[in-house]
Structure 1
Amino acid sequence: MTETRLHPLQEEELRWLAGDDPAEVQAHTLELLTREVESLRRGGLARPASGWSVADVLAHFADIEIIVGYRYRRALTEERPAIDPFDPDTRAAALRYADRSPQDSLEQFRGLRRANIALWRDAPPAVRARVGVHAERGPESFDLMFKMTAGHDRIHLAQIVELKAALA
């Protein structure tokens, strides 16, 4: 039997998931971000000297949900579709994260996240095993991509905590 070695990014995101239910983690992220937007309404929109702000991270959550939703659906409807990588900082600049309203980012994220959670919950194991092939990381099943998204959530939730502490 051959053991499949995970890409370092896959390992990191799965480590952040820590074996928890990925749908529950993703649903909880939606609750946490809703509270975060409320705190931003009360004056938490300060930008750090460099790097992303909390509002930028919220825009990233919304943008990522579009990307992963598309990847999930391609894996479910095509045979081993190619998954293209991207640079988050390039996307943030090109899509003008800094100009987005946190409330708009949250609204976009909310609908997409609910749809993606429902897609995963409704999928039987054989469907979750369908694969897309990432240009840098190799084959990734729908199940793996969904779990990675939950770990990715936790990484960026921790980033929000750090940003808020640095600006306090």
Structure 2
Amino acid sequence: MNIVHPSDLQPILTGDPRARRAFVQELTPIVHGHVRRALFRRRARAHRRDVRQDVEDMVQEVFAVLFAEDGKCLRTWSPARGSSFASFVGLVAERHVGAILRSGRRSPWTDDAADPAELEAWLEPGPAPEAHHAQGQLARAVLERVARELSPRGQTFLRVLFLEEKPVNDATSQFGVSADVVYAWRTRIVKRARRIGQRLETNFVHAVRFREVANKKGGNGKENAMIGLSRELAAQLEAWPAQLRASVEGISAEEARLAAPNHGLSVVEHAWHLADLEEEAFAVRMARMLEEDFPHLPDFDGDHEAKVRRYRERDLDTALTRFAAARSANLRRLERVRPDEWARAAVQDGVGSLTLADLVCRMLDHDRSHAAELLERLASLGRTPTPALIEMAGAAPPTPCAA
């Protein structure tokens, strides 16, 4: 679906189901990329919570905004204003995310019912010593995450109800509230712990279980070392540099340096940002998390570095080569990570607390954000995107990265 004039929107605005499905399918990678980018740019305003869990919900909300009131928002687009339709949709997505975070209406949990026993389930160690150690780290990670995302009052309820294990009647007397209020707090805490625990458990516990199987069989190859993050995640991280190079193959130096609409990055700026971030941020963070106890990690301001380092004047091929080499080195280091080391934690500016497993998932999130932006950028240059780029921009996260 190629939308270059407002008249091209008529089948969508008139409610043609096939046109709407094609519209959503084509624009989902673009909306997804802009929502992720906007969330990560504003993550400090989101009280340092893991904003990835909101991406899918916000993508759906963006489409709701586009279709609301008989497509009122879509009808405002005009190519005479200088933006392509894809750029216009991306701008709507970023503004919607900004409006949500400014309003403060996002809540880190929902109030639907959950079984309180599920929180204690994260504290039950497995029978093997290595599993016992990893599950102990998992429990601490879950509790730390829950406590960080609660208000001071919520943290008090967490301590009284789960750490001190006081009954509800004692809590009602201590806080001077009804039993309904105490049960509501318990449900919120359990719900949040369940969501955090389900995501982290794949990285921590499954890695230990597969390592135990490998030890029994005498195997210690690459597949077993990386399986804590899943073969799918490792394969996608490994494939992206080559997919990136294939996506921009044949593009001229002039095209690579052309500025993108709405202050977006040019193709060469994308490549150099990926290369420098891989070398100076992801590699350094990985090393420090493995070598130091709970280090403080600075953020990497990509937009600032693109200007200071004058990425647009640099050579595209050099950036692609450096990115591929840096990604390969990082993956080789991950192959040597022990199961218990996936829980190594740090505090990063603008993000908050995160584990090594989280960091690797963030690498894939970052790859996908750039894939979505490059998809849009190449389309504006009249280039046909590769199937691999389209898939990378719109693929759902594998299990270890799911919110």
One-letter amino acid of the counterpart of residue 164, structure 1: L
One-letter amino acid of the counterpart of residue 306, structure 2: A
Q: Please, what TM-score do these two structures have when normalized by structure 1?
A: 0.84
Aligned residues: 160
Show structure 1 runs of 4+ deviating over 2 A. 10-15, 19-22, 36-46, 48-51
Larger radius of gyration: 2
1:108-151, Cα deviation, whole Å (9 max, x unpaired)? 11111001111112212211211121133222111110111011
One-letter amino acid of the counterpart of residue 320, structure 2: L
Is 1:36 aligned with 2:247? yes
Is 1:148 aligned with 2:362? yes
Counterpart of 1:71 (choices 282, 285, 289) is 285
1:51-90, Cα deviation, whole Å (9 max, x unpaired)? 2111110111101101111000000001111011232211
Shift in alpha-carbon separation, 1:97–1:140, aligned structure 2, 3 A: same
Separation in 2, partners of 1:28, 1:142: 20
Shift in alpha-carbon separation, 1:167–1:41, aligned structure 2, 3 A: closer
Q: Residue 7 of structure 1 corresponds to which residue in structure 2? A: 50
Q: Residue 233 of structure 2 corresponds to which residue in structure 1? A: 22
Separation in 2, partners of 1:53, 1:112: 21
Shift in alpha-carbon separation, 1:44–1:97, aligned structure 2, 3 A: same
Whether the 8 Å CA contact 1:23–1:121 is kept in 2: the answer is: no
One-letter amino acid of the counterpart of residue 62, structure 1: A
Separation in 1, partners of 2:313, 2:250: 18
Q: Please, what TM-score do these two structures have when normalized by structure 2?
A: 0.37
One-letter amino acid of the counterpart of residue 236, structure 2: V
Say which SS state the counterpart of residue 30 (structure 1) adopts: helix
Q: Residue 87 of structure 1 corresponds to which residue in structure 2? A: 301
One-letter amino acid of the counterpart of residue 97, structure 1: Y
Give the Å deviation of 1:45. Answer: 2.2
Separation in 2, partners of 1:142, 1:105: 26
Q: Residue 55 of structure 1 corresponds to which residue in structure 2? A: 268
Give the Å deviation of 1:11. Answer: 3.7
Whether the 8 Å CA contact 2:277–2:300 is kept in 1: the answer is: no
Runs of at least 5 residues in structure 2 that lack an aligned partner in the other structure: 1-47, 58-229, 383-403
Whether the 8 Å CA contact 1:58–1:105 is kept in 2: the answer is: yes
Q: Residue 167 of structure 1 corresponds to which residue in structure 2? A: 381
Say which SS state the counterpart of residue 250 (structure 2) adopts: helix
Separation in 2, partners of 1:161, 1:136: 27
Q: Which has the higher contact order (CA 8 A, sep 6+)?
A: 1
Say which SS state the counterpart of residue 265 (structure 2) adopts: coil
Whether the 8 Å CA contact 2:253–2:316 is kept in 1: the answer is: no
Whose helix proportion is higher, 1 or 2?
A: 2
Separation in 1, partners of 2:318, 2:289: 28
Separation in 1, partners of 2:369, 2:292: 30
Is 1:99 aligned with 2:99? no
Give the Å deviation of 1:14. Answer: 9.9
Separation in 1, partners of 2:253, 2:307: 26
Q: Identity across aligned pairs (percent)?
A: 26
Shift in alpha-carbon separation, 1:75–1:13, aligned structure 2, 3 A: farther
Say which SS state the counterpart of residue 299 (structure 2) adopts: coil
One-letter amino acid of the counterpart of residue 361, structure 2: K
One-letter amino acid of the counterpart of residue 58, structure 1: A
